[in-house]
Structure 1
Amino acid sequence: MPSPAQMTCTEDFRRLAQRRVPRMFYDYVDSGSWTESTYRDNALDLQKLKFRQRVAVDIAHRTIGTTLLGEPAAMPVALAPTGMTGMQWADGEILAAQAAEQSGIPFSLSTVSICSIEDVAAHTQRPFWFQLYVMRDRAFIRDLIERAKAAACAALIVTLDLQVVGQRHKDIKNGLSTPPRPTLKNLIDLATKLRWCKGMMGTRRHGFGNIIGHAKGVKDVHSLTRWSAEQFDPTLSWKDLEWIKQCWGGKLVVKGILDADDARLAVAAGADAIIVSNHGGRQLDGAPSTISVLPSIVQAVGTQVEVLMDGGVTSGQDVLRAVALGARGVLIGRAFLYALGAMGRPGVSRCLELIAKELDVSMAFCGKTTIADVDRSILVNPDILQGG
């Protein structure tokens, strides 16, 4: 049985998670919409960017520390808000938040998490970020915002690219629904995941903690099905974002930006930061990779807001590439979810340790000693992705 110290990269965690996590929940993470072309391009386009190695430079004293949304961070990385994290490992959101806190980076909690805002706040010391999906029930949204404020969340991330839901073929084939369908295939699969089952039997957190018991008429996972089908709001507009900012009153981050014009609109609506994101390739298949549009968005907003990026980032070298093209930092999703599903909290801690070390060493090979000095000059071909 492997130990965290034996894991050397995200791929090691992915393979182990594939063996240990029930197929429907593993595939929920490891999938994109329709043909999954955007999902693949996020990672492939990052790999196209090649580093400019420098030698005989004094690199004895280095730091990858930075600030994200004005707060110190041990490296330019945060854990992304990911749905159903607590189905990768029992109490997964709490464990991931604790690992992020230990590593000195921000953690983001999803609206559709298994552990609630209050659960995570009760088990951590450092303020975390909360991600908001905008539902039709505005009273529920206002209540969520108030709960995030009561938990002293440091920032509110508003996701704008889920007005409608992209189709993910694997979820349909696996019968992933709310609640999951207990097909014979799924039951047989669960019988082979005894470690996962034991963990789930040891926790009371199995539903959507931010929604069940809080949204009108949602008493359990069965009543959640009807509610959730009606709640995603196709009428969402920039005026709604202005309303949310007024309700929130704190740092506001807009997630789901892929276009320079939308980046400017987000700034005009009061965003303090934007996240260049295509939802991990899970929404509009055929959209460009995030790294390919990052430079144009950075140019569009200048220094008005911080620009973060997610999508395809699985290593310290990917972090370095994104920073080189103008990102203040990145959010990682699948990388930490694989680690969580493989080994729980120790897996996430090891994953972050590996990313930090690879970022530090790669930065050194490029002749830089501080992350603040990293720019396009560390890349041989910084314009290779121009035009997407």
Structure 2
Amino acid sequence: MSRSAWRENPWKQNPWFESVAVAQERARKRLPQPVYGALVAGSERGQTIADNQAAFAEIGVAPHVAGHHEKRSMETTVMGEHLSIPVIISPTGVQAVHPDGEVAVARAAAARGTVMGLSNFASKPVEEVVAANPATFFQMYWTGDRDVMIQRMQRAHAAGARGLIATLDWSFSMGRDWGSPEIPEKVDLRTAVRFAPKVLTKVRWMKEFAKAGVIPDLTAPNLAPPGGAAPTFFGAYYEWMTTPPPSWDDVAWMRATWAKLSGRPFMLKGVCRVDDARRAVDAGVDAISVSNHGGNNLDGTPATIRVLHPIATAVGDQLEVVMDGGVRRGSDVVKALALGARAVMIGRAYLWGLAANGQTGVENVLDVLRGGIDSALLGLGVASIDELTPEHLVIPDGFHRSFGG
């Protein structure tokens, strides 16, 4: 069957999609409005979330006309894990877009030879996710006291997590100019009745959960105390909000505690400044993710692709640098790698694939990115992502943003 035939009637003939944009559109049509709204929203006016994507479009490429390589390599390593493609699954909370949630995503990542990032706000327990993909990095926020955090690290280590990601870039900005989607604290009969007008029109989404014999799970099982019940998402969020924010000494403690417990690597996620990147080196972290929380932290923060190169230039020889924020195409990945990232992390892109077609949809997204990366490497005349440099790009004057350096 041709791709044009698939496009004419994609749901009846084939669920394959050819771009992340198409996955997003299918997710929009499939999901209840509050669920889809939670995926696309950014903080305040949405300036940062918009810039995350728009900034990639400002960068051009400088292709060669001949002398291309027949074979091209996309392999790399991040925190000791081999990747067949320089794209990592970024940890995202409560994946109620599909009944299999994080387990489906983990299986897709394993099938495509990459790492799964699992949020401690996830809807599936770390033990199930690691079983689906042993190459899993467990993510933690700074929530609860140190004894509670140690217990959560111990659980992740016992489950077999290969690394720890500490996400600290969050300022609890509540206001959104277009309004925040309503998210219930739990799904019960009263909630079902109240949300029925928004849900009953999404028949395929409802059938998926009915077939699996489950309802959308809004609890956080990885935050459950030993022998206790999992808190609701909002219960976990309240703990996070009421925990005093961490200092750099706390970051060093977290890294040292995880290293002593597991001997495995530690990533600090949320770095946007050169001075913070240098402090991360001083704290002994193994990797950083240049990130603005997908536009959900402090609005007005520049796109991560704008701040990547100054940070990678300053500390890239002392720790590993990855980037997340706004990646929708393989060419976006290539641009990030050329500016100093070892790999990128994706969030919304794979969630749209999950919503569109479950595990296969996530695999589809990774395949789309792989194809785009390969096309860019071919056109640029390089045999490996390791050969990429800023000279392969056309970067406008004033594009980069550097703070604290």
* Bucket of the pairwise TM-score, normalised by the shorter protein: over 0.9
- Larger mean CA deviation between 260-269 and 211-220 belongs to 211-220
Select 1:313's aligned residue among 327, 339, 342.
327
**Aligned partner of 1:246 among 256, 260, 282:** 256
Cα distance in 2, alignment partners of residues 48 and 82 from structure 1? 27
State the 1:234 CA deviation. 3.7
1:75 aligns with 85
Q: Which moved more, 1:254-263 or 1:68-77?
A: 68-77
Equivalence for 1:187: 196
CA 1:292/1:345 → structure 2, altered by over 3 Å: closer, same or farther?
same
Kept in 1, the 8 Å contact 2:68–2:378? The answer is: no
**Which residue matches 1:112?**
121
Which among 344, 355, 373 is matched to residue 358 of structure 2?
A: 344
Equivalent position of 1:98 in the other structure: 107
Instruction: Give the CA RMSD over aligned residues.
Output: 2.2
Q: Aligned runs of 1:316-331 on 2, under 5 Å?
A: 316-331=330-345
Structure 2 counterpart of 1:114, one-letter code: S
Q: Is the 8 A contact 1:91 1:203 kept in 2?
A: no
Q: Which secondary structure does the structure 1 equivalent of 2:61 belong to?
A: coil
Amino acid paired to 2:219: F
Give the distance between the partners of 2:37 and 2:271, measured in 1 at CA.
25
The reply on whether 1:9 has 2:9 as its aligned counterpart is no
Contact 2:289 2:321 in 1 (8 A): yes
Counterparts of 1:196 and 1:209, CA distance in 2: 22
Taking structure 1 as the reference length, the TM-score comes to: 0.92
* 1:229-288 Cα distance to aligned partner (Å, 9 max, x none): 243334311111122122211200000000000000111111100000000001100011
1:156 maps onto 2:170 in alignment: no
Q: Deviations over 1:46-83 (max 9, x none)?
A: 11100001111131121111122222211111010011
Match among 281, 288, 296 for residue 267 of structure 1: 281
Residue 146 in structure 1 maps to residue 154 in structure 2: yes
Counterpart CA distance in 2 for 1:230 and 1:123 is: 29
Q: Is the 8 A contact 1:31 1:170 kept in 2?
A: no
Residue 167 and residue 369 in structure 1: after superposition, are their counterparts in 2 closer, same or farther (change >3 A)? Answer: same
Question: Residue in 2 aligned with 1:133?
Answer: 141
Asked whether the equivalents of residues 220 and 231 of structure 2 are also in contact (C-alpha less than 8 Å), the reply is no
Aligned identity (percent) is 33
**CA distance, structure 2, for counterparts of residue 286 and residue 216 of structure 1:** 42
Tell me which residue corresponds to 1:178: 185
Q: Bigger CA drift: 210-219 or 271-280? A: 210-219
Instruction: Output the CA distance in 2 between the equivalents of 1:292 and 1:173.
Output: 28
Would the aligned equivalents of 1:129 and 1:154 in 2 still touch at CA under 8 Å? yes
Q: Does residue 1:293 correspond to 2:307, yes or no?
A: yes
Separation in structure 1 between the aligned mates of residue 70 and residue 347 of structure 2, nearest angstrom: 32
Query: Which range is displaced more, 97-106 or 376-385?
Result: 376-385
Whichever residue aligns with residue 28 of structure 1, its letter is A
Distance 2:223 2:140 in 1: 16
Tell me if the contact between 1:24 and 1:171 (Cα under 8 Å) persists in the aligned partners.
Answer: no
Moved more, 229-238 or 366-375: 229-238
1:139 Cα offset (Å): 2.4
The answer as to 2:173 corresponding to 1:166 is: yes
Q: 1:70 to 1:4 in 2, by over 3 A?
A: farther
Contact preservation (8 Å) 1:325, 1:382: no
TM-score, normalisation: structure 2: 0.89
| Greater mean deviation of Cα atoms: 168-177 or 272-281 | 168-177
- The residue identity in structure 1 corresponding to 2:272 is L
* Aligned-pair CA distance for 1:369: 1.3
Aligned residues: 383
SS of aligned partner of 2:60 = coil
Give the letter for the 2:324 counterpart.
D
Shift in Å at residue 228 of structure 1?
3.1
Aligned to 1:64: 74
More off after superposition, 272-281 vs 142-151: 142-151
Q: How much has 1:220 moved relative to structure 2?
A: 5.1
Higher mean displacement: 270-279 or 194-203: 194-203
Shift of 1:170: 7.9
- Structure 1 residue matching 2:164: 3-state secondary structure: strand
In 2, distance between residues paired with 1:96 and 1:65? 20
